[in-house]
Amino acid sequence: MNPSRRDLGLILPALAVATASAQENKTLPSKAFKYEDLPVKVNGENKSRAVFNGETHSGFPIELHMTELAAGQVPHAPHQHVHEEVLMLQKGTLDATIKGEATQITGGSIVYMASNDLHGWRNPGPGPAQYFVIALGKEDA
């Protein structure tokens, strides 16, 4: 059976509604995220908790995760990406490197990584470092 133009005319509005509904489902609702309820992902000595990943009411992508990084560890190799990131160190110490320039930060410090800047961090110890990362924008352009 070959659909006619008329058939397509009836299907297109239904597809538009389905697409709009799928996009609306990405909008993050107001919600309290209790620490003890967040699933823990263990990777060796490190622990992470995905908090949320979605969009604001205007469609702006935002993601938040928490990490406990063991002494002497890095979460991954230095990297760069299109989206911006904000790192907020709750406690411990990190050696944060942005575009080859290293800065040691302590609890309460914040690091902003602009689009496409090479960045990374390492916990020099002696104890664990606990931090939050907020990713702002799309992963890839």
Per-residue pLDDT 10s for the chain (141 aa) are: 566 656 545 565 655 555 554 455 689 999 999 999 999 999 999 999 999 999 999 999 999 999 999 999 999 999 999 999 999 999 999 999 999 999 999 999 999 999 999 999 999 999 999 999 999 998 765
pLDDT of residue 138: 86
Query: Tell me, what amino acid is at 22?
Result: A
Q: Are 52 and 63 in contact (CB under 8 A)?
A: yes
pLDDT of residue 4: 61
5 token code pair: 């133009």
Note the pTM of the prediction, 2 decimals. Answer: 0.79
pLDDT of residue 14: 56
Between vectors from CA 139 to CA 123 and to CA 117, what angle results, nearest 5°? Answer: 55
- Residue indicated by tokens 């993601």: 63
Kind and range of the H or E element at 61? strand 61-69
pLDDT of residue 21: 47
> Burial of 108 by CB count in 10 Å (0-12 exposed, 13-18 middle, 19+ buried)?
exposed
